[in-house]
Chains A and B, each alone.
Chain A
Amino acid sequence: MIKKFIHQFASPKTYLFQVERAYKFILYFSIIIYILSLVWGLLFTQEDFVQGNSYRIIYLHVPASFLSQSLYISMAIASFVYLVWRVKLAAYLVISIAPIGALTTFIALTSGSIWGIPTWGTWWQWDARITSTLILFIMYLGLISLHTSFSNYEKADKLLSWLAIVGAINIPLIKKSVDWWSTLHQPASITLTDKPAIDPSMLYPLIGSMIGFFGIIICLVIISSKYQILLREKNKSWIKDYV
């Protein structure tokens, strides 16, 4: 039954009709959650003992950083699915995610730079975490430029998938950079194994902002994937029913 569900959902047609129903709800819900979390975090949480009010950029920076890496992992998984099982939808998702991933990485780098001024006294430092995140941003741009340089979509999809899988080596490097090297960037405050190093009054709006931001980005990916499907399947008869 699960196999049947996956097979059905893997069809671009089924995917398009199914997400059309769900994504507006996800978008509005996520925007509300994100705005509420931002209001809570910006207006109703106390100042940090060391950083003062400058820490509040955490409600943009942390979700963006987390998602920039998660989106790349999603791309690598979708690439694997496409190369192994030849699921067309996976290929459409890979190219849909790339520009959104680049956007979130850019937000992470920019918000991090803004946070760096009051915290470290500098916009930029060639520290392991920041440099590896910059590498990730360049990787996203490289993936987009590779795909757009080929007119044959199928060839472009395969090459993009291979590059996405190879480039996934960068993600554990980014994740572990604060542990393996002595970096200016602080270690993770929230981990799976330890108690959070962040006060609950700051943690809860942070979790809310991550959920909200995640939902907004998922909707952007859905919109991007819809565009890809319309572009690539434009000659199919079912497109007329959709449009």
Chain B
Amino acid sequence: MKLLNLEIIKLKKKTRSWLGPILVFWLIMIAYPLTVELSKENIEVGFFSVLWISILLSMMFATEDIFTEDYNDGSLEQTLINDAPFAYYVGVKVLIHWLLIGIPVSILSFIFSLGTTEDLFLSLLILPFSIMSSYIFLNLFVLGNALSLNKGSALGAIITLPLALPILIVLGKSIVAIQLEINYLGFMFLLLGSLSIIIVTVPIVVSFIIKAHLE
């Protein structure tokens, strides 16, 4: 609980770190209609693709310096030698980032979807998909950042981006399933299953990777 509160305070203090990704998402979603012919059908055609990619990019920005400050000031090493498992610390960090960045981005996804498609059912279904996908992307980019801990976040993002592509494929197929009202729950459970595996394994793997950096 102490760690949770500490991480919330740390992230809230760095306004750029949590507000920046939300604004990036907002900007992309606002800029998108400007790039297409202004008719409802044209905007709807590419909307969901842009939505998922915007979520992906904003989660990438969100994890840009997730470990950098702690690594530079030595608190990462201190946490490593604490009693609490290091994976727990990583899990808490990801959770806090998701609460402060992933959830607002997901709510904005619902709003933008409602505004673009004017379909409440579709937009309500976008919400759980956005929530789950933002958490999955956060975990994947945290993995990438751990791998390239002191080498800049771009390398890490590039390395782990291929792992996010299957999730994008599933998200794309899920929109088709929602629009045709066939088996969209199956895709939801598929994402939920992936998330439940990722949520457990990624913090453990990241803890080993960071230990390798610090040794």
- Checking A135, A145, A150 against B166 with a beta-carbon cut-off of 8 angstroms, the contacting residue is A135
Interface size on A, residues (CB 8 A): 24
A187 at the interface (CB under 8 A from B): no
- Classify the interface of chain A: helix, strand, loop or mixed: helix
Q: Is the CB of B212 within 8 A of A146?
A: no
Given A158-B212, A166-B205: A146 in contact with B169 (beta carbons within 8 A): no
A173 at the interface (CB under 8 A from B): yes
B151 at the interface (CB under 8 A from A): yes
Q: For the complex, give the distance between the alpha carbons of A22 and B158 in Å.
A: 39
B116 at the interface (CB under 8 A from A): no
- Classify the interface of chain B: helix, strand, loop or mixed: helix
- B207: min CB distance to chain A, Å: 11
Q: Which residue of A lies closest to B213 (CB)?
A: A155
On chain B, the residues within 8 Å of A128 by CB distance are: 169
Given A131-B169, A145-B155, A149-B151: A170 in contact with B162 (beta carbons within 8 A): yes
A116 at the interface (CB under 8 A from B): no
On chain A, the residues within 8 Å of B163 by CB distance are: 139, 166-167, 169-170
Given A128-B169, A145-B155, A155-B212: A162 in contact with B147 (beta carbons within 8 A): yes
- A123: min CB distance to chain B, Å: 20
On chain A, the residues within 8 Å of B189 by CB distance are: none
Q: For the complex, give the distance between the alpha carbons of A139 and B140 in Å.
A: 14
Kindly supply a per-residue 1/0 record for chain A positions 150-162, scoring 1 wherever the CB is within 8 Å of any chain B CB and 0 otherwise. Answer: 1000010011001
Q: Is the CB of A162 within 8 A of B205?
A: yes
Kindly supply a per-residue 1/0 record for chain B positions 169-194, scoring 1 wherever the CB is within 8 Å of any chain A CB and 0 otherwise. Answer: 10001000000000000000000000
B120 at the interface (CB under 8 A from A): no
Q: Which residue of A lies closest to B201 (CB)?
A: A166
B208 at the interface (CB under 8 A from A): yes
On chain A, the residues within 8 Å of B215 by CB distance are: 155
Q: Which residue of A lies closest to B152 (CB)?
A: A149
Q: For the complex, give the distance between the alpha carbons of A131 and B169 in Å.
A: 10
On chain A, the residues within 8 Å of B158 by CB distance are: 142, 145
Q: Is the CB of B166 within 8 A of A159?
A: no
Q: Which residue of B lies closest to A165 (CB)?
A: B205
Given A135-B165, A170-B163: A146 in contact with B213 (beta carbons within 8 A): no
A188 at the interface (CB under 8 A from B): no
B interface, CB within 8 angstroms of A: 143, 147-148, 151, 155, 158-163, 165-166, 169, 173, 205, 208-209, 212-213, 215
> Can you list 9 pairs linking A and B with CB atoms under 8 Å apart?
A131-B169, A135-B165, A138-B161, A150-B151, A155-B213, A162-B212, A166-B143, A166-B163, A170-B162
